[in-house]
Amino acid sequence: MIILKAEGWKDYELIDCGRFEKLERFGKYFLIRPEPQAIWNKRLPDEDWLNLANARYVREKQKKAYRFADEENGGWTFFKKMPESWVISYGLGDVILNFKLNLTTFGHIGVFPEQAENWKYIFENVQKSGVGCKVLNLFAYTGGASLAAKAAGADVTHVDAVKNVITWARENMELSNLKDIRWLVEDALKFVRREVTRGKKYQGIILDPPAYGRGPAGEKWVLEENFNELMSLCAQLLDGAGSFLVLNLYSLGFSSLIGNNVAESYLSASEKEYGEFYLLSQTGIQLPLGTFLRSKL
């Protein structure tokens, strides 16, 4: 098991974290957002955080979702002027990936910076597989992994259950001067069941399953109940020697060992690594941010 530090960003920094929050820089804007794993104390005083921050998100204390609100009701509170959307970039060698960021009602902004380590892995493995290799990205969100695969020459199928997120990912593709990603608003589990029946094969599969979720027709996803079947199906879709699988798990109850044990039930890997990602703050704190498994047949 290994621990990987996400590196290579110019447009992102983790400044400090603690007391269930993190202070981050995205481009030229500073945001304070919730971080449930940051149970320790901040290393910078509160006034330094507030002096830097353009906006702060506090989770809702009521069931109603607030777009902009005060700290008691939840939502975004603004301290300095900033746009509702802006663009940041990440470089993969000579390739530049561009991401549109938005201040959403649920506190996410459209990118998970620690995933840059997986983007590098995907980019390099697609290059080894060759132009036109087929890559499937499930629970694909705003498309960072899809962009990395497409930029390296892959034929990419991007699957997510939320139409608005697919639209967002398409914007990122266009901002990155890429084209021809296949977009599907689909329930991931139903889709891979059909792909197995069709006899389809992929040289790369990327999985980022949530703990809970709903498909576009209300299909229920529960990680503990559905993960084993999903991995079984994905193993059947992988196209033999040289193909790769990338798995991310953000559920706090799932260690990297769980992901590895399930994968070992179905995959005979020639190369494999698993563990957790972390971001290093400017104040020297290692913030853990999900577990991963990367397996190559």
Residue 67 has pLDDT above 70, yes or no: no
Angstrom CA distances, 106 to 58, 60, 68, 75, stand at 9, 9, 11, 8
Residues paired with residue 183 on neighbouring β-strands, in sequence order: 158
**Superfamily of domain 111-296, CATH level 4:** Vaccinia Virus protein VP39 (3.40.50.150)
CATH-assigned architecture of domain 7-85: Sandwich (2.60)
Sequence spans of domains, the chain: 7-85, 111-296
The strand pair at 155-160 and 134-138 is best described as parallel
Q: Write down the residue that tokens 């996803």 correspond to.
A: 221
How would residue 161 be classed by pLDDT, with cut points 50, 70 and 90?
A: very high
Whole-number average pLDDT of the chain: 92
The DSSP output letter for 136 is E
Q: Tens digits of per-residue pLDDT, 187-201?
A: 999 999 999 999 999
70-78: long-range contacts, CB 8 A cutoff, minimum separation 24:
75/105, 76/103, 78/54
Residue 68 has pLDDT above 90, yes or no: no
How would residue 105 be classed by pLDDT, with cut points 50, 70 and 90?
A: confident
Q: Tens digits of per-residue pLDDT, 79-101?
A: 999 998 999 999 998 999 999 99
Q: Tens digits of per-residue pLDDT, 240-282?
A: 899 999 999 987 678 899 999 999 999 988 999 999 999 999 9
Residue 214 has pLDDT above 70, yes or no: yes
Helix or strand holding residue 95 (H, E) = strand 95-102
Angstrom CA distances, 92 to 133, 136, 150, stand at 19, 20, 12
* Range 151-163 average pLDDT: 97
Residue 168 has pLDDT above 80, yes or no: yes
Q: Which residues of 135-159 are buried (b: 16+ CB within 10 A; e: fewer)?
A: bbbbbbbbbbbbbbbbbbbbbbbbb
Work out the burial of residue 166: count CB atoms within 10 Å of its CB; fewer than 13 is exposed, 13-18 middle, 19 or more buried: buried
pLDDT at residue 180, as a whole number: 97
pLDDT at residue 51, as a whole number: 97
Q: What is the pTM of this model?
A: 0.93
pLDDT at residue 252, as a whole number: 67
Q: How far apart are CA 117 and CA 276, in angstroms?
A: 11
Question: 111-115, 214-218, 251-255, 268-272: which has the highest mean pLDDT?
Answer: 111-115
